[in-house]
Structure 1
């Protein structure tokens, strides 16, 4: 596929960075001497758990909503999300004075539901195991004329998330570092597709790896097959933020071009990674946001002697659940 056929390019990510200037936290890379010693590598963590609304999702949501026409602003926003995109959309909508309704799974973490409502959005629940969110959203779009802001398969969303890649490249260059490997959480692929565009433009030698929960490794299997493959139904994972049915139509072609591959990690490994993030980085990271750290020990990617970056994509987790997970690690 020619690069002109892809949904976004580096110019789109750079334009998103201009729109986001002054609106986001430019999260600086952090590291731990103890983790560096354990893995015999220099590991740099991108703490998007410290981002506005507690995850990277604000970047894409703001970039998309900032480009609304007056007619779209009047019609209002409909979005679906397990929680992080919900908060990014709700917060951005409030900044622009736009009404937002968010469709969330009934088992979404309560902190994500409460935060979404605190930004002024209405929340509608659905059963993620027996209903499709597209079907639940359809009446709001077709009958009420509301504007869908999707969680990942949208050029403006992807470009906004890609600004993380710009910041990683800029900071590693500023430190005089050669970035060998990059691990990025992957659900529908909006984050990793945008990041990969930015990183490949500025650091083409860097190998980029998607990370997914076991039994939700649709990206890994799709990359192997060379086409989109869906997850089998009926599985569960603690990584609620990145449980998607299959790679996006727009994200997958970019990821197929830019990624070295993808790896799957167990819930057990994620719990250990969450504990390590707390112990060594002093960061609260939610399960789906911590899969990249879990992959350092749980994948076949050789990182010894290399400079590695890991995106910690979010930190929105119910504290009671969080305490239980790290205690059981």
Structure 2
């Protein structure tokens, strides 16, 4: 196996991990601050992808498509929080799971009613298309490199927001003692709405960025949501740093496992059986990683110890 292939797959794993981070960051903020299990977070990812495809089709601008995706997902998130989620904070997690699962069905059927059942396609703009030559003569798609750097930029901006701003102080305080910050005059309802809108906007951005690589279709958010939950369990609930590290670990494990595990099995069995066994183990690799992390540190890599 060539060095070029290994480097390309590492970059693919980083790009996949960055997209998972954008999903997981909003999810871990919502769960960490509100204590809410939001299964409909993947639907906001889908809303962002469809909004981006629609805006790009109307305007021809990829930048406006990204802005439209974030705005649409944020607006949808605010409406969901105010109309549905706000009634669930005092309930147990089973009620939250059932209510947000119902929202998945509503979003899926509503999207199918508006856009139809056929996939949409969001084209990569000309100035981001084509390959770029990396050191060593490696040809790699320019758009995927942009995704990696854009995701890292968002991660840095989100880290600064959480650690250096007044809103970030309120968010971190809300994770530890929401009654106390309410007693100090912070409007908890407004804070929760802002956090939910921020998480939804990040999910919408992820959907728009990925929509230019794969087709935009109903139900595209649920598989990514499962991986996002794995990410926040590995990284630690409520930790943005943990979400980033966990997402990169999951992205690299999933991508490299799918390439290298079948090659390892070929050393011990027939090629066809090795491909089947290696692919099966690769699909389980991220869950094995999650189990290993939880055995070593039950709260996740950067989760607060109790």
TM-score (structure 1 length as normaliser): 0.26
Task: Determine which structure has the larger helix proportion and give its number.
Answer: 2
TM-score (norm 2): 0.27
Please tell me whether Structure 1 or Structure 2 has the larger radius of gyration of its CA atoms.
2
Q: Which has the higher strand share?
A: 1
